[in-house]
Amino acid sequence: MTEEKQFLIQKSLSWTWSVKLCYPVLIVLEAWAVYRYLQNPGKLFSDSMLLLLNLLMVGIFVSWIVSYVRIFWWVYKTTSAFKKVEPLPKMDLRRKVNFKKRIILFDGILILGGLAFSSSMSAFVGFMISSVLIVAISFFMRNWIRNNGSGDNRDDWIGYLVGVAVVCMITIPLCNAATSHFLGEEEPDADKKQTIFASCQNDEFKINGSGTPVGVTIYKSPIPWIIRKTSECYPKDMSDLWDQTEQKLPAEMESLSNGMEVAWYRYMFRKDETNPDPESNASVNKEEPALDEVILKDKSHLIILDFGGGTDLAGLKEAVAAFEEDDKPYMGAPKIVLDGHNYFATELCIVNEVPERYLYAGELTDQEKKYAFIDGSKYYTPNSDGVPEDFYIYQECGTPVSEHEVDNTKRQWAYVKWRLED
């Protein structure tokens, strides 16, 4: 078979119309998927598994581009050689196969190492120690089998695999335990995803000082671009449910210190135009907000507060004050510091009368309720010795609607329960 016929056969198998069309389509789809994830880098860079998925997609994207370019270049170069009656380009197949194996191994170690590093320094150190141990043990067992093996290929392979497995099972846990001891072991938080690049914390809801349920989402990152790009995803687009309007901020909040920015959006119930009954529409649409979304950010923090039933200027000032006081972990959960202990109104417990076992204990000072942002100072503690687990404060608050909801538009004075931090 002549070289020309051999080339034409190879070309018909490798440079088909399916390759010409499918490769560009797959490359575009892969790029679009990565682009979509990059629209919210706060979630992407705070989730180690999502970050790994995107690293794999980027690797696939690059490999498809390289493969497509190499096939195209090989066809173009060989076709030109035929037309010019020049010798065909030669390919060192063994060299290319070995090079590809090394690249795949290097990419695998790089991706896994990057994933471990993004999770925590302890995970990265443990991964690197384990990798070095596996390689060192593999080489040691190979040399030992060569010098002391029986010569039977099957027996030597079994001995090699068993030896590597046993030694790794003993040494790797010991080294990881030593790493955890010296570097400290981090306790996982079920509601928080974190890497060295960013963290994202989602709480179902908290109760602020006036008894309003607040959904809280907190992004943190040392990379300003992540915070800036993530903030572009808010306010959330809920135009299919409610009408959205941007609320005017007070003059003192339009320019805050240290690059802080505040935005306040309100979602109103939409009148049902398909319902001809005006009384029904009037009862649904009473100019009462369904939700208020407050966005607070600086260079390293982005906090989204969703006030169920809306909030007022006092609630907005409360959130901004907590943000400015660098009390960001407690956004949406104001605290009272009593005798050095933190108390939070994390339960929706609002009553008109104090339970019998609670006695009047005095009035809170301005310093003790500095982070509470409430009207009211009288508090009642249980009749027991030691640090009280909870107490009631007589304060202005919203009206309970259900177990997890209050109507913050209907204000009242009542007793609100504050609990000791767990």
Answer yes or no: is 93 within a domain.
yes
Residues 85-119: tens digit of each pLDDT: 777 666 665 776 676 677 677 666 666 666 655 55
d(CA 302, CA 293): 13
| Same domain flag for 218 and 266 | yes
pLDDT at 229 over 90: yes
Answer yes or no: is 36 within a domain.
yes
Beta partners for 388? none
pLDDT at 286 over 60: no
pLDDT at 297 over 80: yes
- Segment 140-158 shows an average pLDDT of 77
Which pLDDT band holds residue 155 (cuts at 50, 70, 90)?
confident
| Same domain flag for 29 and 140 | yes
Answer yes or no: is 188 within a domain.
no
| Same domain flag for 141 and 239 | no
| Same domain flag for 153 and 208 | no
Beta strands 289-297 and 390-402, pairing class:
unpaired
Residues 121-131: tens digit of each pLDDT: 666 677 777 77
Q: What is the DSSP string of 291-335?
A: EEEEEEE-SSEEEEEEEET---HHHHHHHHHHHHTT-GGGTTS-E
Answer yes or no: is 300 within a domain.
yes
Instruction: Return the DSSP state at 273.
Output: T
| Same domain flag for 217 and 247 | yes
| Same domain flag for 204 and 320 | yes
Which pLDDT band holds residue 329 (cuts at 50, 70, 90)?
very low
Residue 32, pLDDT score: 92
Total tally of structural domains belonging to the chain: 3
Which pLDDT band holds residue 16 (cuts at 50, 70, 90)?
confident
| Same domain flag for 150 and 13 | yes
Alpha helices in 187-312 (DSSP H): 224-231, 278-284
Residue 226, pLDDT score: 93
Last residue of a domain, one of 123, 153, 183: 183
> What b/e string do you get for 218-256 counting C-beta neighbours within 10 Å, with b at 16 or more?
bbbbeeeebbebbbeebbeeeeeeeebeebeeeeebeee
Last residue of a domain, one of 134, 153, 183: 183
| Same domain flag for 177 and 290 | no
Answer yes or no: is 69 within a domain.
yes
Residue 219, pLDDT score: 92
Residue 378 exposure: Cα atoms within 13 Å on the Cβ side: 10
- The pTM for the full model equals 0.59
Answer yes or no: is 344 within a domain.
yes
Residue 130, pLDDT score: 78
| Same domain flag for 350 and 323 | no
Last residue of a domain, one of 124, 150, 183: 183
Instruction: Return the DSSP state at 393.
Output: E
pLDDT at 9 over 70: yes
For residue 403, the enclosing domain spans 336-420
Mean pLDDT of the chain: 77
Which pLDDT band holds residue 230 (cuts at 50, 70, 90)?
very high
| Same domain flag for 342 and 362 | yes
| Same domain flag for 219 and 175 | no
| Same domain flag for 168 and 205 | no
Range in 52-56, 72-76, 255-259, 299-303 with the lowest mean pLDDT = 255-259
User: Among 399, 396, 388, which residue's Cα sits nearest to residue 359?
Assistant: 388
Answer yes or no: is 192 within a domain.
no
User: Among 223, 25, 192, 20, which residue's Cα sits nearest to residue 119?
Assistant: 192
Task: Say which residue the tokens 């797959």 belong to.
Answer: 26
Answer yes or no: is 189 within a domain.
no
